[in-house]
Each structure stands twice: as structure tokens, then as C-alpha cells.
Amino acid sequence: MGDSPSDKYKGIRQLGLLSAIPLILAAAPLIGYFIGTKIDHVLGTNRVFMFVFLGLGFVAGVRETIQLIRKAEQDD
């Protein structure tokens, strides 16, 4: 047999890891948007920081997604 408990639940762990991807891809830009909007409101600028932080949110979301995929591949 030789199936250890960690091997037994490997697929479930990967499913949990990979199911976080849509949440990360949606949440990171939204957080960036709200932070940028708040800074624009405080400083009185016209959507400058909203676009900057929205872009940073997209980059952060993609970067975290790539890291999760790599981790899932290593577990396999």
C-alpha cells in the first residue's frame, strides 16, 4: 500500500490552493482601487492614485497567482 495520509489528501490540498486563484485575481485589484480612491480623496487628486494602485493590484494578483501555481506544481 504505502499511502501516507499526506499523499492521500494531496489532491484536496491542491484543489484548495488552486481554488483561491479567482478570489485573489478579483480581490487584489479591488483593494488597490479602494486604496487609490481613498488617497485621491484625501489629497484632492483626480483619479491618479486610483489608476496607480489599480495597476499595482493587478500586478500583485498575477504575481500571487503564479506563486500559487508553482506551489501546486511542486506538491505534485
Residue 47 and residue 33 in contact, taking contact as beta carbons nearer than 8 Å: no
* CA–CA distances in Å: residue 47 to residues 25, 32, 34, 37, 42: 22, 12, 11, 7, 11
Boundaries of domain holding 46: 21-75
Q: Tell me whether residue 59 is in a domain.
A: yes
Using CA atoms, how far apart are residues 32 and 42, in angstroms rounded to an integer?
15
Confidence at residue 5, expressed as pLDDT on a 0 to 100 scale: 63
Q: Tell me whether residue 65 is in a domain.
A: yes
Chain segment 57-71, per-residue pLDDT in tens: 999 999 999 999 999
Residue 53 and residue 32 in contact, taking contact as beta carbons nearer than 8 Å: yes
Identify the DSSP state of 44.
Answer: T
Stated pTM of the model: 0.82
Domain count, the chain: 1
Q: What are the 10-residue block averages of pLDDT along the chain, 76 residues in total? A: 69 89 97 98 96 98 96 84
